[in-house]
Structure 1
Amino acid sequence: MDSPLTTVGLPLALGIIMFGLGLSLTIADFRRVRQHPRAVVIALACQLLLLPAICFGLVVALDLPPLLGIGMLLLAASPGGTSANLFSHLFRGDVALNVTLTAINSIIAIFTLPIITNLAIDYFERQDSVSLQFSKVVEVFAVVLVPVLLGMLVRSRNPGVAARADKPVRIGSAVILAVLVLGILVDQRDKIADYFGDVGLATGLFCAISLVVGYVVPKALGVTESQAIASSMEIGVHNATLAIYIAVEVLDTTEISVPAAVYSIFMFVFAGAWGYVLSRRSAPVRTT
């Protein structure tokens, strides 16, 4: 998929999205772990350990083709997306916890993402055609983190500008992701029916399971309702743009990006529907 959409548009899209994340972050967000250690640890354990294991189980059980299987694990290893904060806000989640989880997980993913993806590559014995070198991933994340740091700098120097830019950047991020997904689907249009047949069930199940696990596990372990909702959105709404970027620009295989593109379609629908269910459950009961 060697086109302006990927060579220029994709890095620019990722930069805008990560800059938007930076606009919502402060140093205090990283320190907030001490205020909610239980919620942070449980959510990160679900996202970093439980979800990749579940995803691998789906890949094996559904017998996905190797490149799509690698794409699924790449998606599972990607941190939460900035849209998680918006969904959490809409459905009464603890947005501060979302911001904290996104910030921390984006750093941790520098190490966990290449490990999980390379394990998938080894499992499918694709080392000859696909390679994710750790040094290259560090380089990618350095590119990713620079816009985040710039966003944080803008917020620290001029909170008013950051506040005014936050909504347009969020909307722009959603539009950019939609354009990327459309571009991938158009690029792969000759095989798209087969891809949906191969990976549609897997991505749909993975999205639904991610949202439910992200709520049920923290709730069962004693976190508050708002924290459980935040955890659900953080775990269920992945940074698909990052997964697409690594698949196309680093692994140089568009087919690996297809699960992230298809997941994005399910993600917004399922997260909205699940958030509605949770908000109805947690809404105060009116008495007559």
Structure 2
Amino acid sequence: MESSVLTELFLPLALAVIMFGMGLSLTLEDFKRILIYPKAVTLGLVNQLILLPLVAFFIAKLFQLPPELAVGLMILAACPGGATSNLITHLAKGDSALSITLTSFSSLITVITIPFLVNFSIVYFIPGGEEQKLEILGTVIAVLAITIIPVVIGMLVLRKAPGLAQLLENPFRKFSTIFFVIIVVAAFVKEKDNLVQFFIDAGPASLALNLATLGLGYGLSKLAGLDFKQRLTIAIESGIQNGTLGITIAATLIVNSVMTIPSAIYSLIMFGTAALIILLGNRR
């Protein structure tokens, strides 16, 4: 994706708005819950930070994705769940406190892990990929600036002016949805001539990744003896990714529109499976 107002300004700003909205519902207590749910939080983070990228790597190899789409899938797998997973958990009547805790910790940790995982993927899948590698420190600073800092500002607003935070939360949730839709549409429009082929190439792999991580999250949680709400929550946190961040990394930091496609396609697919999860959770 060529450098433009969309990639240099709108994408980072949109993501910052989304993360600020998430911060409006977070408190320091959310970070202390690891002491309350040690087994659930540990299992959720292992799924999110280790198993998800491994599954994405094997799916990219299994489906023989074109190099740039393979890297795009790995970029997505490197991202945390984001505010969307918290919303879906709430609607599915899962464990919202656990969801927020997992999102909080994974968002902090992936600031460090994203550049290393993405660089490995670029070098592995793309011949001569060293030329496109992310600069480690610059990427960490960029991800901090568009994710963690807006979340912290949102948390400060909630702490210092809870009335204002409550007033802003719903509008920012709506803005987040609008921004997300615009970002996905923009990614598709940019590659409209190749869209059908991209769906053929990346669609099955994206669906497989979504179903595999949802199933893995739920299955391992059941084996660990967690209750239904916690199993449902870990499945959601494993299978619902921050597609907006994935698109932003590919479009803004790597400046490659093809690498945005797996995140955009996955985002559409995950909302379909999320609807089924919400139905399942409400029936239980």
* TM-score, reference length from structure 1: 0.94
Q: Does 1:133 align with 2:135?
A: yes
Q: Once superposed, which parts of structure 1, at least 4 consecutive aligned residues long, lie more than 4 Å away?
A: none
Question: Contact between 1:247 and 1:254, CA under 8 Å: does it hold in 2?
Answer: yes
Question: Contact between 2:111 and 2:144, CA under 8 Å: does it hold in 1?
Answer: no
Query: Which residue number corresponds to residue 180 of structure 2?
Result: 177
Question: Contact between 1:114 and 1:133, CA under 8 Å: does it hold in 2?
Answer: yes
C-alpha offsets along residues 164-190 of structure 1, whole Å, 9 cap, x if unaligned?
A: 221221121111111100001001011
| Structural mapping, 1:69-88, within 5 Å | 69-88=70-89
Query: Aligned partner of 1:207: which letter?
Result: N
CA distance in 2, matches of 1:251, 1:6: 10
Q: Once structures 1 and 2 are overlaid, which stretch shifts more, 141-150 or 1-10?
A: 1-10
After superposition, the CA RMSD in angstroms is: 1.3
Q: Once structures 1 and 2 are overlaid, which stretch shifts more, 246-255 or 127-136?
A: 127-136
Q: Once structures 1 and 2 are overlaid, which stretch shifts more, 62-71 or 205-214?
A: 205-214
How far is the alpha carbon of 1:117 from its aligned partner? Answer: 1.2
CA distance in 2, matches of 1:126, 1:185: 27
How far is the alpha carbon of 1:232 from its aligned partner? Answer: 1.5
Q: Once structures 1 and 2 are overlaid, which stretch shifts more, 177-186 or 121-130?
A: 121-130
Question: Contact between 1:211 and 1:274, CA under 8 Å: does it hold in 2?
Answer: no
Question: Contact between 1:91 and 1:275, CA under 8 Å: does it hold in 2?
Answer: yes
Query: Which residue number corresponds to residue 237 of structure 1?
Result: 240
CA distance in 1, matches of 2:65, 2:253: 22
Query: Which residue number corresponds to residue 258 of structure 1?
Result: 261
Query: Aligned partner of 2:87: which letter?
Result: L
Query: Which residue number corresponds to residue 246 of structure 1?
Result: 249
Q: Once structures 1 and 2 are overlaid, which stretch shifts more, 171-180 or 159-168?
A: 159-168
CA distance in 2, matches of 1:215, 1:165: 33
Question: Contact between 1:240 and 1:264, CA under 8 Å: does it hold in 2?
Answer: yes
Where in structure 1 are there 5+ consecutive unaligned residues? 283-288
How far is the alpha carbon of 1:13 from its aligned partner? Answer: 0.5
Q: Does 1:277 align with 2:280?
A: yes
| Structural mapping, 1:116-265, within 5 Å | 116-124=117-125, 125-144=127-146, 145-265=148-268
CA distance in 2, matches of 1:149, 1:81: 14
Question: Contact between 2:123 and 2:130, CA under 8 Å: does it hold in 1?
Answer: no
C-alpha offsets along residues 84-124 of structure 1, whole Å, 9 cap, x if unaligned?
A: 11111111111011111111000100122122211111211
* TM-score, reference length from structure 2: 0.95
How far is the alpha carbon of 1:54 from its aligned partner? Answer: 0.9
Query: Which residue number corresponds to residue 39 of structure 2?
Result: 38
Query: Which residue number corresponds to residue 110 of structure 2?
Result: 109
Aligned length: 281
Query: Which residue number corresponds to residue 286 of structure 1?
Result: none
Where in structure 2 are there 5+ consecutive unaligned residues? none
Query: Aligned partner of 2:140: which letter?
Result: V
Query: Aligned partner of 1:134: which letter?
Result: I
CA distance in 1, matches of 2:195, 2:131: 22
Identity %: 37
